[in-house]
Amino acid sequence: MKNISIGILVIAAMFFMNSCSKEKETEINFSATIQSRSDNKATISWTELNASGENTFRYSIYLKAELLAENITGNTFVIENLIGKTTYECRVIAKGTGINPLETTVIFTTFENYPPDPYDIDTDSITNRSVSLHWDQCVDPEKRPLHFTIFLNNEIYLENYTQNTLELTGLLTAKKYNIKIKAIDDQGNTTSSSTIIYTLKKENALLIRKSLEWDGNERTYAVYLPSQTSTNIPLLMFFHGAGGFAWPGIQRSGFMDVAGDNNFILVYPQATIWDEPEIPSWNVVEFIDVDDFGFVREMLKQLVQDYSVDENRVYASGMSSGGYMTYYLAFKMGEKLAAIAPVAGLPTTFLSMPQSLHCKLPLMHIHGTIDATVSYFGGEYSVSVDSTIAFWTRNNGCFTSPVITEMPNIYPNDGSTVTVYAYESPYFHKDVKLYKIINGGHSWPGQTDDPYTNRDMDVESEIWNFFKNYSLE
């Protein structure tokens, strides 16, 4: 009887110990967390279970139902090649000797994979057969590597390109090219940027964008050289209007052909943004902290150093705000200019006009009589056209009575005509000409269908035909 009692006690003890062991097993804390994640990867970690004796825990990783890895002995794992903005379920299974497998699940969502940041394409130089490009150092928001595909007129020119500068060669002369550059990350997200260029007509010509540091700012300007080997050639500066851009504006300029045919350097300086609205324009009032006059002087100095410029034949022209700038330069440095030709711009009333210039300076002025932006008759900010012409003819010693001619009305449907007033300077040979566009608006004359734009003039040729008669010599 005693032996039976002892046996019962042993069995009870074993049952109690086994129950405690199972209870202890169920108390094991096993969980997983996401340490880090991005658009295409995630690092998962889990509870590192203590091993005893020869019992070593090994782990298997499942992404949904797919086994990613097994027999892992650590407690972290990096899941790669994920898709952005996607929710995943990850299971970690722990296996050890003598215990049932343990399992934990973690759910996470990858971040959105954003396309590469926007960027601009800049053209550094153009010839008749090539173009040099650069674009912003494009950045991917997730710091992923990028490559580029370059298209010419919608056809692939180059793929898997990794630099941000490129020389396109083998182009056709005098042809328009639509250039598109597509930035691509390794997830296939893309951002594109485009520009249009025109290859040059002349074989030895060069169109180049240049820059200089002035007054703490980088200032830029575009230069067209009709020949890279000519020496002692004239230079014409053209100042764009408010809201204009020297580049690519120079590429569409009618002055390019005239410069090529007559062998003079064409320069388009770029204005800055200093006033409302946020558009570039020229500072001609002197109380604004933008030194455009100093920039132009420094630009001319650089041009003389870089190219064979005839300093006796430097000319200035401009449209609207650029016309104001042309007059401003006449008052500030007229002795350096051989002639000027403002279009739809006038001397500003912010500066007191002196009794005379400190030099005799030939003037060709072009203005529409119904210009609603810069009134022919002057106003709060501008001297009138008639007052300007009277000042200039007096300064240059011109006859007070002009020779008046009517330009042929080639396009009667444009609603305007041109009357030319020519004031001869008999002693100084520094003439003044006014091109009065009857019913002309605030626009550049030429071959265009814009309202209130006169089409009877080849204005670029007309300006050069005036300029070429004058030199500082």
Residues 193 and 62 in one domain: no
**Rounded distance between C-alpha atoms, residue 294 and residue 112, angstroms:** 49
Chain centre to alpha carbon of residue 334:
33
Task: Flag whether 74 is in a domain.
Answer: yes
Q: Output DSSP code: residue 335.
A: G
126 plus 244 within the same structural domain:
no
pLDDT computed for residue 129 by the predictor: 97
Q: What's the pLDDT score for residue 23?
A: 47
pLDDT at 84: 85
Phi, psi of 232 (to 5 degrees): 50, 55
Q: Are residues 185 and 331 in the same domain?
A: no
Is the domain of 49 the same as that of 154? Answer: no
Identify the H or E element spanning 321: helix 321-333
Q: Is residue 380 part of a domain?
A: yes
Q: CATH no. for residue 427?
A: 3.40.50.1820
**Residue 49 structural domain:** 31-109
* Torsion angles phi and psi, residue 423, rounded to 5: -105, 115
Task: For residue range 312-330, list pLDDT tens digits in order.
Answer: 999 999 999 999 999 999 9
Q: What does the mean pLDDT of the chain come to? A: 91
Please give the Cα distance from 366 to 384 (Å, whole number): 13
pLDDT at 119 over 90: yes
Task: State what percent of residues in the chain have pLDDT above 90.
Answer: 74
In a shared domain, residues 337 and 422: yes
Q: pLDDT grade, residue 142 (50/70/90)?
A: confident
Whether 279 and 408 map to the same domain: the answer is: yes
Q: What is the mean pLDDT of residues 389-418?
A: 96
Answer with the one of 109, 139, 161 that is the final residue of a domain. 109
Please report how the helices 321-333 and 292-306 are oriented relative to each other, as an axis angle in degrees rounded to 10. Answer: 80
Find tokens 């626009």 and name the residue. Answer: 443
In eight-state DSSP terms, residue 163 is: -
From the CB of residue 84, how many other CB atoms can be counted at a distance below 10 Å?
16
Express each pLDDT in 88-104 by its tens digit: 999 999 998 778 899 99
Positive or negative CA dihedral for 131, 135, 137, 139?
A: negative
**Residue located via tokens 């001297």:** 383
Of 109, 124, 69, 128, nearest to 93 by C-alpha is 69
- Work out the average pLDDT over 228-250: 93
Highest-pLDDT range among 52-66, 91-105, 369-383, 435-449: 369-383
If you average pLDDT over residues 429-454, what whole number do you get?
91
Q: What is the mean pLDDT of residues 289-309?
A: 96
Residue 14 CA, distance from chain mean position: 83
**Final residue of a structural domain among 88, 109, 130:** 109
Residue 264: count of CB within 10 angstroms of its CB: 26
Exposed, middle or buried: residue 456 (CB in 10 Å: 0-12, 13-18, 19+)? buried
Q: H-helix or E-strand containing 391?
A: helix 385-396
CA angle 135, 39, 110 (to 5 degrees): 155
Q: Is the peptide bond before 269 cis (omega within 30 degrees of 0)?
A: no
Query: Is residue 113 scored above 90 in pLDDT?
Result: no
Q: Within a domain: residue 10?
A: no
Amino acid identity, position 130 = S
Percentage, residues of the chain above pLDDT 70: 93
Please give the structure tokens belonging to residue 458: 């080849």
Q: Do 376 and 406 reside in the same domain of the chain?
A: yes
Cis bond leading into 342, ω under 30°?
no
pTM: 0.79
Of residues 143 and 296, the one with the higher pLDDT is 296
Can you give the pLDDT at residue 10? 46
- CA 59 to CA 36: how far, in whole Å? 20
Tokens coding 391: 């000042």
Give dist(CA 365, CA 343) in Å, integer.
6
Contact 168, 133 (CB under 8 A): yes
The helix or strand, by DSSP H or E, that contains position 178, with its residue range, turns out to be strand 176-185
Place of tokens 């490559």: 147
Structure tokens at 424: 């001869």
d(CA 103, CA 91): 7
The predicted structure's pLDDT at residue 286: 76
3 CB-near residues (< 8 Å, 6+ apart): none
Q: Are residues 185 and 262 in the same domain?
A: no
Mean pLDDT along residues 434-452: 89
Is residue 429 assigned to a domain? Answer: yes
- For the chain, how many structural domains are there in total? 3
Residue 135: in which H helix or E strand, if any?
strand 131-135
Instruction: Provide the pLDDT confidence category of residue 207 given band limits of 50, 70 and 90.
Output: very high
CA gap 345, 442 in Å, rounded: 9
Residue-wise pLDDT tens digits, 145-202:
899 999 999 999 999 999 999 999 999 999 999 999 999 998 888 999 999 999 999 9
CATH label of the domain that carries residue 49: 2.60.40.10
295 belongs to a structural domain: yes
**Single residue among 75, 109, 143 that ends a domain in this structure:** 109
